[in-house]
Amino acid sequence: MSDRPKLLFLGSLMPVIENSLEAGFEILRDDGTNLDALIERHGAEIRGIVTRGRRPTDAALIARLPALELIANFGVGYDTVDAVAAAKHGVIVTNTPDVLNDEMGDFTVGLLLATIRTLPAAERFLRAGKWLHDAFPLGNSLRGRRIGIAGMGRIGQVIARRLSGFDLSISYHSRNKVSHLDYPHFPSLVELAANVDVLIVVLPGGPATRHAVNAEVLAALGPDGVLINVARGTVVDEAALIDALGSRKILAAGLDVFEDEPRVPAALLACDNAVLVPHVGTATHHTRGLMADLLIRNVRAWFGGEGPITPVAETPAPGRRAPQTDSSISKQ
C-alpha cells in the first residue's frame, strides 16, 4: 500500500496538474463511470479532491470520504462545491482567484465589442462571398453607451478599469457598495438595468443568484440594451432571454456561459442577435497555466503542513483570519 496521500481527481484536468502531483500523491481518476467503485475501494483513505467543477462535490460525496481534508477547485468559481458542507466536516476548499482577472477583463471587452459591432456576422458575410456584391449593413456602436456591471468584485473592477478607457459612464450593482469606488451604485439589479444600455453580468453562481437576470431585468434594460454574461449560465433566466432576444425586447446578447453546459438550446442558437461562445473566458495557455500552478501549490502547501494558499471564505485556514468575503466576485 502506498504511503502517499490519495487524491481523487473528479473529471479530466490539465495534464500538467497530474504530472506535477503524481510524484508525491497517489492519484485516483474518476472517469464518470467508476466513482462508486473508487469510493468503495479507497474511500476511507482519500484525503483530497481535485476538481474543475464540471461534476458536483456535494454534501453526500463529502460525507462518504471520512479522511477528506482538502477540495482543490480549478477556477475561481466554486458553486459546484458544497463549501458549507465541507466546513461542517472540517474540510478546506481552495480556488484559484486573481490569476485570471486580467484575462477575464480582456475577454469581456472583446465579447462586448463583438456583440455590439456584430463581428461574427460580419466575418460570416465576408466568408460567404457576399462582400463581392454588397456592403455589410451599418450596425450599432459602443459610443455613448452607459455600462452597468452586475457584480463589482475583483473581476468586475478589472472590467470597469478596462472600459474606463473607452470614455463611457460606468455604474454597478452589488449587495454592498464598494467603499473605494466612485462609480454610481444601484442597490437592485432592476434599477441598474433601467439606467444603463449595456449590462455585464459578473455575479457568482449558486442558488442565491439563480435567474437574477430575469424577464423584469431584461425589460428594464430595454430594446436598445445589450446583455453580456461572463459569470455563470444559471444567473440568467435562459427562457426569458430567448424571448427577449426573439421579440427584440433587448438589442443583443453576448454569452460565454449557459444554464446546461455544454448543451445550448436550439432556440438560443437560432437568435441572430446573440454572440455565443463555449465558456472560453479564461481559456488561454497563459492563464490556465497560472490557474494550474496555483491549484498545485494549494495541494502541496496543505499536505506539506503549510496551510492552504487561497482558501475560500467558507473554509478559512485553521488559525488564520478568514479572507474578506466578496459577495460579488465572479464564478468563472
* Three cell numbers written together for 5: 496521500
Residue 319, pLDDT score: 53
Q: What is the pLDDT of residue 76?
A: 93
Q: How many domains does the chain have?
A: 2
Say which CATH number the domain at 238 has. 3.40.50.720
pLDDT (average), residues 207-226: 97
Q: Which residues contact 132 (CB under 8 A, 6 or more apart)?
A: none
Q: Could you tell me the pLDDT band of residue 320, with boundaries at 50, 70 and 90? A: very low
Question: 215 and 109, same structural domain?
Answer: yes
pLDDT at 323 over 60: no
Same domain assignment for residues 64 and 144: no
Q: Identify whether residues 156 and 295 lie together within a single domain.
A: no
Do both 256 and 163 map to the same domain?
A: yes
Q: Is residue 331 part of a domain?
A: no
Q: Does 173 share its domain with 46?
A: no
Domain assignment of residue 323, yes or no: no
Mean pLDDT value across residues 189-199: 98
Instruction: Give the three-state DSSP class for 30.
Output: strand
Q: For the chain, what is the mean pLDDT?
A: 94
Lowest mean pLDDT among 69-73, 204-208, 229-233, 294-298: 204-208
Work out the average pLDDT over 152-178.
96
More confident residue, 216 or 329: 216
Identify the residue whose cell numbers are 485556514. 317
Q: Which domain holds residue 27?
A: 6-95+286-304
Termini Cα distance of the chain: 38
- The pLDDT, as a whole number, for residue 3 is 85
Out of 26-35, 138-147, 290-299, pick the least confident: 26-35
The per-residue DSSP string of 252-289 comes to EEEES--TBTTB--HHHHT-TTEEE--S-TT-SHHHHH
Is this structure's pTM higher than 0.75? yes
Residues 236 and 154 reside in one and the same domain: yes
Residue 54 pLDDT: 85
Cα separation, 5 vs 153, in Å, equals: 35
Tell me: do 48 and 108 sit in the same domain: no
Rounded to 5 degrees, φ, ψ at 118 are 50, 50
Clarify whether residues 136 and 42 are in a common domain: no
For residue 263, CA distances in Å to 77, 260, 274, 278 come to 20, 5, 16, 10
Whether 156 and 69 share a structural domain: no
Angstrom CA distances, 2 to 19, 25, 29, 45, stand at: 18, 9, 16, 11
Domain for residue 199, yes or no? yes
Q: Is residue 30 part of a domain?
A: yes
Residues 290 and 211 in one domain: no
- From the number of C-beta atoms within 10 Å of its C-beta (0-12, 13-18, 19+), residue 299 rates as buried
CA distance 27 to 32: 15
Residue 310 falls inside a structural domain: no
Same domain, 228 and 264: yes
pLDDT at 328 over 70: no
Q: Is the pLDDT of residue 10 over 90?
A: yes
For residue 243, which amino acid is it?
D
Q: Look at residue 328 and tell me if it is in a domain.
A: no
Residues 272-278: what's their mean pLDDT? 98
65 is a domain residue? yes
Q: Are both 72 and 125 inside the same structural domain?
A: no
Q: What is the pLDDT of residue 317?
A: 79
Cβ count near 35 (within 10 Å): 16
C-alpha cell at 158: 478589472
318 in a structural domain: no
Q: Are 281 and 103 in contact (CB under 8 A)?
A: yes
Catalytic residues: 232, 261, 279
